[in-house]
Every structure is written in structure tokens, then in C-alpha cells.
Structure 1
Amino acid sequence: MLTAKQHELIQFIQSRLEETGISPSFEEMKDALDLKSKSGVHRLISALEERGFIRRLPNRARALEIIRQPDDVATGTRPRIAANDAAPLASSTVTVPQAANDVINIPLHGRIAAGAPIEALEGQTSLPVPAALLGPGEHYALEVSGDSMIEAGIFDGDFALVRRTDTARDGEIVVALVNDEEATLKYLRRDGGMICLDPANAAYEPQTYSSAQVQVQGKLAGLLRRYH
């Protein structure tokens, strides 16, 4: 059983594959289905994967393969879109195995270290992340370098999962770009007209800058750690 939105999504993917040979991006799917965030697209794709309608091709960005289609899509007729997305529409009844936990590939922008602005590291590679670790919004990952945040449980070699944003509240852990040249992961704190970037390690002093010197580039959303 597929919902109206699931039908709509598989039709959109199929039409784009026929037109361009390339799967649509999550942003394009979000806009086409009039969804508020890309997390809704992730949920729809996961549901279609679990039901055996589509498959994500490994190690390839924006690579979706349609394995089978609902009857009304296969015959070229568009389904009636129900007023309530939860209302199921009939589809072919084929028993398929349940998919493993959903994994999303997000950009990995390298190590967050002194002298390495985020922009200089765009598009290097990607990191597979369990979807359950990510909330709504656009995310990227950074490999942590150094021990300035160990008292917050963030260690050298961890992967910081960051939600892209240019605003944050005091007390949140942010990726801050200082003077357009140095990226750092610290607690954000405002003090009058100044911005303080506080470490989570008593061996380090807070860094204080004017507000014009600091640009927030994201907020910490989660961590991945490798065990050797």
C-alpha cells in the first residue's frame, strides 16, 4: 500500500530519469512534492525502499533506481492524489524483504582545523550516516582535529555531524568561521558586542572576537566515532 505522496514521488523520479537519465536531487524532490523539509523526502524514499519500489545505488550521489512501479504508474496513468497523505492507494501486492536501517550520504568537508575554511573543503567526499542521527535541514560532516572539546565528549578523530545554519543561540556548539580563514568547533557565547568561542577543555582559553569577525556556518547535530 502506497500513500499519495509516495505515488507522487515515484512518478517524479521516473519522469526525471526518462528526461535526463539522472535522479532528481532531494531539494528538487522537496519542491516538486511541496514538502517543508528534505527530511520528508528521506522518509518517503525510505518507505519506497522498504517496499521494494526503489533502490539507492551505493557510492553514487543522487543515484536512485526504480525496481518496480505501482500498477497505475506502470500503465502510464496518474493516480488520484488523496486529500490526506495518510490515505493509502492500491498498488501491486508483492512481498519484499525489509530494507536495512536507512543510511544517508552527507558531504564530508575534511578536518576542522586552523587555517582551513569550510568553503575551501566543499565537495571533497561523502560520509554515510544513519538517518536517525539527523533531524530536518541540510547537513555536512567534519572530522574533528584536536582536543579542545573533550569535556563535551568530542574527541580527536570524531566526525561532527553539522546542520547548516548561520544563526545559533548562546550555549550551542557551532562551526564558526573566524576572519574568513579559520574554522573552529566551539560553544557560542555573546558578551555585549563581542562573540566568545568557548572550548570544553580547561587547558584552553576562550577566544573572543568582534561580531564582524565571526560567521556561524552550522550547529552540531550529532557525532560519529570510529573504534579501532
Structure 2
Amino acid sequence: MLTKKQLDLLDFINKRIQTDGVPPSFDEMKEALDLRSKSGIHRLITALEERGFIRRLAHKARALEIVKLPESLGGAPTAATQAFQPRVIDGGGTGPRDPQGAPMHVAELPVMGQIAAGVPIEAISHASHAVAVPGQMLRHGSDHYALEVKGDSMIDAGINDGDVVVIRETDVADNGDIVVALIEGQEATLKRFRRAGGGAIALEAANPAYETRIVREDMVQVQGRLVGLIRTY
């Protein structure tokens, strides 16, 4: 899952290679993305390399090449990830209803902003409004909150752009859980959690356009687990 800055940089590099035959300089990238220092470009390039979108070539000026592009930039999808369908509640109409159409007991949850790759959880930690969710979706004695999904990294798990995900607050996760993960205290992302062995955690997207991200266990903090989803038509 790419942040907007990462996607913008990848798009800029790709277009420059296609038009000029060589990648842009760091100064040109810094100016194009309106960053204050080259260190920000270094971080973005490292992130793109870790995700398998670019490769740095040794002993060559402006040593960058595009390995692949996400579908949003015209890239071809890779092998599909395992599909998983969360419980979906229709948020339209007068409120949640059971399969027979009868109103269900509901609880009000704060919507704590938007969840997308690269968005610090601290920046979305103030409730913008509330949403009604079925009471049976919530575990008694646990705290819950909601987030609006922005982006397409979890579409094969049935989670679409604009959906509202219901999250139970927890700092632990089992393999296969879809979680809100905070990476290095800066990036908040919604991903499937797996232990990769050797003290590493795999954060898997549910979209073949995005690579699995492998990070050290001490770099990841689980902030909640997906328990439901609300979709408004």
C-alpha cells in the first residue's frame, strides 16, 4: 500500500524515464514533490524499493529503474491474494437491520477519521462524527472505534474505498487478522497480519497490485482488529 507521496514520486520518476530516458535528479524530485530536504526523497525511495516498485543500480548516475507499477498508474496485477469477506452491514436507509429487515440494536461509535497507508494515527485521533453499528458486532467490555477507508489496498478482502471499518481496540493479533498497524510510530495502515518468522511481521495487502510488507516485529504496533464493516450505497 503506497502513500500519496510515494505514489506521486513513483509516477514522477516513471514519466521522466519515459520522456527523457533517465530518472530525475534528487533536486528535481524534491522540487516536484515540494519537499524541504533530500532526506525526505531518500525515505520515499527506500520505501518504494522495499515494496518492490523500484530498484537502485550500483555504480551508475541517477541509478533508479522502475520494476513495476501499481494498477492506479497502469501496472499489471500480480497473483491474487487470498480473498476474505468481512461481515458487511448496509449503512443506508434508517439504520442497520437483520436479514429479515427488522431493526437491530445499535451502538454509536466515533469515526476517528480516515485510514490509509502513510497517515499517522495521531493525525486522525479526533472523532469527526459518529456511526451506528449493530450491538452484536461489538465485544462486551472492549473499546471500539470506526475509520473511513481511503484507497484500494484491501479490495480483495471486500473492503472498498469509502467503507467504514469497525475496529476493536487491542494490541495483539493472530495470523490472518486484519488489523490497524502502526509502523515505526508514523504510518497507520489496514492490513492482514502474519508472523513471518525470525522476529518479522508480514503486513499483507488484499490487492495484487501491492506487495506484502515485511518489517521487524519491534517496528509494528497493533492498534486494533477489524470486526465489521459498514457500507453506504
The residue type paired with residue 207 of structure 2 is: N
Matched, 1:162 2:161: no
**Contact 2:180–2:222 (Cα < 8 Å) also in 1:** yes
Matched, 1:220 2:220: no
TM-score by length of 1: 0.54
The residue type paired with residue 196 of structure 1 is: A
Identity score, percent: 52
Matched, 1:115 2:118: yes
User: For the residues of structure 2 that align with 1:204 and 1:116, how far apart are their CA atoms?
Assistant: 17
Write out aligned runs for 1:35-184 (5 A).
Answer: 101-124=104-127, 125-136=129-140, 137-184=142-189
Q: What are the superposed Cα offsets for residues 153-202 of structure 1, whole Å, 9 maximum, x if unpaired?
A: 11111101000000001111110011111111111011121111001111
**Contact 2:203–2:214 (Cα < 8 Å) also in 1:** yes
Partner of 1:190: 195
Q: CA deviation at 1:142?
A: 0.5
User: For the residues of structure 2 that align with 1:120 and 1:204, how far apart are their CA atoms?
Assistant: 24
User: For the residues of structure 2 that align with 1:169 and 1:133, how far apart are their CA atoms?
Assistant: 19
Q: CA deviation at 1:131?
A: 1.2
Q: Where do 5+ consecutive residues of structure 2 fail to align?
A: 1-102
Q: What are the superposed Cα offsets for residues 123-147 of structure 1, whole Å, 9 maximum, x if unpaired?
A: 3232221213223311100101111
User: For the residues of structure 1 that align with 2:120 and 2:206, how far apart are their CA atoms?
Assistant: 21
Q: What are the superposed Cα offsets for residues 57-92 of structure 1, whole Å, 9 maximum, x if unpaired?
A: xxxxxxxxxxxxxxxxxxxxxxxxxxxxxxxxxxxx
**Contact 2:112–2:147 (Cα < 8 Å) also in 1:** yes
Write out aligned runs for 1:7-46 (5 A).
Answer: none
Of residues 204, 209, 215 in structure 1, which corresponds to 2:210?
A: 204
User: For the residues of structure 2 that align with 1:202 and 1:121, how far apart are their CA atoms?
Assistant: 27
Q: Tell me: higher relative CO, structure 1 or 2? Use CA pairs within 8 A at least 6 residues apart.
A: 2
User: For the residues of structure 1 that align with 2:213 and 2:119, how far apart are their CA atoms?
Assistant: 17
**Contact 1:109–1:118 (Cα < 8 Å) also in 2:** no
Name the SS of the counterpart of 1:119 in structure 2.
helix
User: For the residues of structure 1 that align with 2:152 and 2:145, how far apart are their CA atoms?
Assistant: 21
User: For the residues of structure 2 that align with 1:204 and 1:123, how far apart are their CA atoms?
Assistant: 29
TM-score by length of 2: 0.52
User: For the residues of structure 2 that align with 1:103 and 1:119, how far apart are their CA atoms?
Assistant: 28
Q: Where do 5+ consecutive residues of structure 1 fail to align?
A: 1-99
**Greater gyration radius:** 1
